[in-house]
Structure 1
Amino acid sequence: MNKFLLFIFILAFGFVGAQQYVIGHVTTDAGTKVPGVLVFNVHTEETARTDSDGNFIIRARSSDELRFIKNNFERVSVKVQPDHFTRPLNIAIQLRAQLIEEVEIAFKPTGNLRKDVRALDRPKKVEELNNNLAKWVQSGPAMAYPSNKMPSSLVLGPDMKSGQLSLFSSGGGGLLGAAIKSISKAVQPAKTTADYAETQAFYKRVKENIDLGYFYKHGIDEYQFEMLLAFVDGKYQLAKNFRSNFNKTAIEFYLKKELKDFMNRNKMKSVEEPA
C-alpha cells in the first residue's frame, strides 16, 4: 500500500513539474502593442490577457496549443515548443478584413476618387450655395467693369533694336523676371505621395513630437491614436504635405479637429464628456 501511494505521489509531482510558464508579447504587424488579447491554452483551458504593453504570461507544457483572440483581429494559434520556455514568444496579429456595404452610385464617377468622394452626401447649405453661384454666373455681372486689355505700347514690348531691355518680362528676355521664375522653381519642390516606409517614418515622427497627453485625456490610447492618425492622413494627406516640411502646429490642428468625428465613427466616448 505504501509503495502504491509513493508511485501516485511521484506521478503527480512529475505532472506538476512539467507545467511551465510561457512569457511573450503581442503586437500588430506594424509593431504596435495590443492590450486585452485573450490567450487561451486549448489543452488546459487556462486563460490570460495581455496587459497595456501587450505582455502576457500563461502556464503551459510542451506541445500545448495557445490561441490568441481579439475582436476585429485574426486569430492566431501557436504550438508550444521547448524553446518557448527559455525566450519570449512574440506574436503578431493582423486586423480582420471587414466587408463594406454595397453603395449605389447615383452619379457618373470621374475615376478620380478624391473628386468623386466630394460629390457624395453634400450638405444642403453647400448645394444651395452652389446653385446660387451658378445662377449668378449665368446671369452675368450687373455693372460695367474696366476692360481687361493691355495698352498697345506695352503689348509690343521693348524695342530691342534701339537698345531697350525689359527687366520684368521673363518671356521677352527680362532679367529680373527670369531670375524670379528660376528661384521659385528651386525653392518649391513638387510634393509626391508617400510610400509605405515614408508614411511609417512620418507617423513615428508625429508620435515623437505631438503632445499625446491631450488625446489620452479624451480616452485615446496609443493604438487608437495610430488609427486616428491614419484616418486624418487619409483625409488631409498629412504624410504627403508635411513629411518633408514638418509642421507640428498644422498637424496637431488637423488631429484635434477630426478627433470628435473619429470617436463618433468608432462609437467611442471621451472621458471628459459627462456620462
Structure 2
Amino acid sequence: MKFGFSGVLLFSVSCMVLSQTVRGKVTDEDGIELPAVTVINITSDKKTYTDADGVFSVDASAKDEIRFTRPGFERASIRTGENLNGELNIKLIRTAREIEEVKVPHITGDLTKDARSAAKADKGRAVQDAVGLPQPRGKMREKPAEVKQVLIPIILGQLNVQGMYDLISGKARRQKRQYRYDDLQEDILWIRDRVEEDYFTKEGIPKERISEFIAFSFISRPQSRTFVKSKNLSGALLSMDEMIPVFKARLQEDRR
C-alpha cells in the first residue's frame, strides 16, 4: 500500500513538472500588441486567445508546438524548449496585399503603344499621387434634409421644395434610420472579420448571437464603437469584454 501511494505521488509530481504554463505576448512588426490572436497547443489541442494587451498563457510541455493565427497576418509557430519559465515574445507579420492590376484596354503587341495605353488608363491616379489631391471622405450618400436647412431659406424668401417634401413625406427620417443601421452593420462586420467566433463562444455567448452581442455592446458602451471608428481593435475588445456578464444575464432572463 505504501509503495502504491508513493507511485501515485511520483506520477503526480512528474505531470506537474512536465506540464507547465507558457506565457508571452504577441505583437505586430511595429511592436503593437495584438488582441484576439488564436493560440493553439498543437500537441495537446488546447486553445486560448491573447487579451487586449496581446498577452496569453497556455498549458504546455517541453517540445510542444504552439501555433499563433490571426486574420490578416501570417501564421507563426514555435516549439517550446526544456525551460518553460521565460516569457515568449511572438511577432506576427502582416500578409502581403495584392497590388491592383493595371488593365490595358487593347493589346496590340506593340510595346510602345501598349505602354502608352497603360499610362493613359491610370493617368488620373498618377496625377492624384503626384499632386496629392485629397480623396473624397465619408460615404457617397444623399444627405437627408434638415429642418433648419429648410426653414431658414423660407425666412429669407427662398423655398427648398425638395427639402420640404423630404421632411413632410418622412423620407429624411427613413434615410437617417437606414444610414444608422448600415453603419452599425458595417462596424459589426469590422469586428467579426478580425475576431474568431471562439473568442465569444468560450465566454458563453451563443454563435448565432455574436452579432447581437456586438450591437448590444455598441449601444451600451458607445466608447467601444468609437474604438472601431479609430480602427483600435484592442480598445474595442477591452470595452466590449466588460459587457459580456451583462449580456449573459439577459440571455438567462430570456430563457426563463
- Structure showing greater radius of gyration is 1
Compare relative contact order (CA 8 Å, sep 6+) and give the higher one, 1 or 2: 2
Per the normalisation by structure 2, the TM-score is 0.43
Per the normalisation by structure 1, the TM-score is 0.40
